[in-house]
Amino acid sequence: MKTVYTCFCTDVIHEGHLNILREARKYGRVVVGALSDEALIRYNHFPTLALDERVRLYAALEGVDEVVVQDDMLYDEVIARLTPDYVIHGDNWREGPEAAIRASVLAALGRHGGTLVEVSYTRSEETKKIDRALKERLAMPEYRRKRLRQLVELCPIVKALEVHSGLTGLIAEKTVVEREGKLDQFDAMWVSSLCDSTAKGKPDIELVDMSSRLRTIDDVMEVTTKPIILDGDTGGLTEHFVYNVRTLERMGVSAVIIEDKTGLKKNSLFGTEVEQTQDSIESFSAKIAAGKRAQLTEDFMIIARVESLILERGMEDALTRAFAYVGAGADGIMIHSRKKDPSEILEFCDKFRAADKKTPLVVVPTAFNSVTEEELAAHGVNIVIYANQLTRSAFPAMQSTAVEILRHHRAMEADEHLMPFKDIIRLIDEL
Ligand code: SPV
Ligand code: MG
């Protein structure tokens, strides 16, 4: 009896999967791989069913003889273990980032003389509807809100990208790259005060009010499913912060990061070039504790941002504050620096981790941008935020287009740098 292997990475079975199984049975005994949570997150979506539920779902399907767990997005290990005579897959992976996975499957099958069978990919109205329903479920507040905590548990490091509009949200949601044969994508989104303000042509001094920030979040939420971390500036007055925590939680935001500054907040990247006042440990701890008391779910995170290194108050002050804020109930610590050299950030992380193994650590490597995600993870960092790169890349591109049009009194010269409109439209989902 020949063995046929196929890997499923879905929480919902539709006609397309049943079609693959029907075809598979023609070749022999059918083994279905259930892709692990970690691999699924990188590959296409956050699971809405636990791995054991997915295994049971697949095992109950007619024509499935065995279900195994596939731990890696690449099939090498599973193919070496099972040496299937056939691997069967939809033909939709011949192009795009998935083509690299297909190539590695062909190579792995070649090692023992196995064959790849491709069936025409089913894309009916019904399967589209099911895919959409699955995506919409991921966007619901009760699913989205808890996802940041889940990702911190599952991923070596959670990667967040700055967003400030529906369009930038779509970029964070949909950008997938192939690297070393595997697919990669962002896990979460950061609604930056700097970029949200900049998009409105305003300075980053808590001038853009919470109603407007919520409007931005809602625009992003409308078209995405990934979890959202809000840059909550100083959190404002404690009496206001508690209401905002409730609102954010209800909307499905996963975390707010508040910084220990008081008075007129200025952007941290100015450091000591401008006057900035750090809050007292007591006052900021009271704000964190009040926020935690206001929360209704276990999901939402209030992350405390320590500004001691930005304000040149020293490592000891940074650590003392971090431990105090955790004591006050903070669900995570963000440590910030504007030095190009990452060593003070890494020193903080090592010293913090020596005493606290669990509380999530967040960093924003804008200045110290040479540090890699792997290095950060090795020093105990859980979340890395790319806080402003989308805005900083879009602005010069738009400005040079404006200059080109003015120079040439027409748009033709600018056009060669522009994305065709049909490509932009393809980003946008239709219901
Ligand atoms: C932001 O993105 O608004 C931040 C990070 O707060 S930073 O600009 O580096 O202070
Ligand atoms: Mg900010």
Closest CA to 218 of 253, 256, 257, 264: 253
- Dist CA 72 CA 37 (whole Å): 10
Indicate the top mutation candidate among 163, 388, 389 to test ligand 1's pocket, ranked by most ligand atoms within 8 A of CB.
388
* Greatest distance between any 2 Cα atoms in the chain: 76
Q: Which residues pair with 8 in a beta bridge?
A: 34
Pocket lining: 192 vs ligand 1, CB cutoff 6 Å = yes
Pocket lining: 268 vs ligand 1, CB cutoff 6 Å = yes
Distance from the alpha carbon of residue 335 to the mean position of ligand 2, in angstroms: 13
Residue 259: the pLDDT is: 98
Q: Which ligand does the CA of 334 lie closest to?
A: 1
Phi-psi region of 233 (alpha: psi -120 to 50; beta: other; left: phi over 0): left
Distance from the alpha carbon of residue 428 to the mean position of ligand 1, in angstroms: 28
Indicate the top mutation candidate among 335, 364, 392 to test ligand 1's pocket, ranked by most ligand atoms within 8 A of CB.
364
Is 204 catalytic? The answer is yes
Distance from the alpha carbon of residue 299 to the mean position of ligand 1, in angstroms: 24
Instruction: Tell me the backbone φ, ψ of residue 191, rounded to 5 degrees.
Output: -95, 95
Contact yes or no for 194/387 (Cβ under 8 A): yes
Walk along the chain (431 residues) and give the pLDDT tens digit of each residue: 999 999 999 999 999 999 999 999 999 999 999 999 999 998 888 999 999 999 999 999 999 999 999 999 999 999 999 999 999 999 989 988 889 999 999 999 999 999 999 999 777 888 888 888 888 889 999 999 999 999 999 999 999 999 999 999 999 999 999 888 888 999 999 999 999 999 999 999 999 999 999 999 999 999 999 999 999 999 999 999 999 999 999 999 999 999 999 988 989 889 889 998 999 999 999 999 999 999 999 999 999 999 999 999 999 999 999 999 999 999 999 999 999 999 999 999 999 999 999 999 999 999 999 999 999 999 999 999 999 999 999 999 999 999 999 999 999 999 999 999 888 888 887 76
Beta strands in 263-395 (DSSP E): 277-278, 301-306, 332-335, 361-363, 383-386
Distance from the alpha carbon of residue 163 to the mean position of ligand 1, in angstroms: 12
Pocket lining: 193 vs ligand 1, CB cutoff 6 Å = yes
Residue having the nearest C-alpha atom to atom 5 of ligand 1: 387
Contact yes or no for 260/285 (Cβ under 8 A): no
Residue 135: the pLDDT is: 85
Contacts of 67 (CB under 8 A, 6+ apart): 31, 32, 33, 34, 55, 58, 59
* Residue of 37, 196, 204, 279 marked active site: 204
Residue 291: the pLDDT is: 98
Residue 371: the pLDDT is: 98
- 86-90/176-179 β-pairing: unpaired
Pocket lining: 367 vs ligand 1, CB cutoff 6 Å = no
Q: Which ligand does the CA of 162 lie closest to?
A: 1
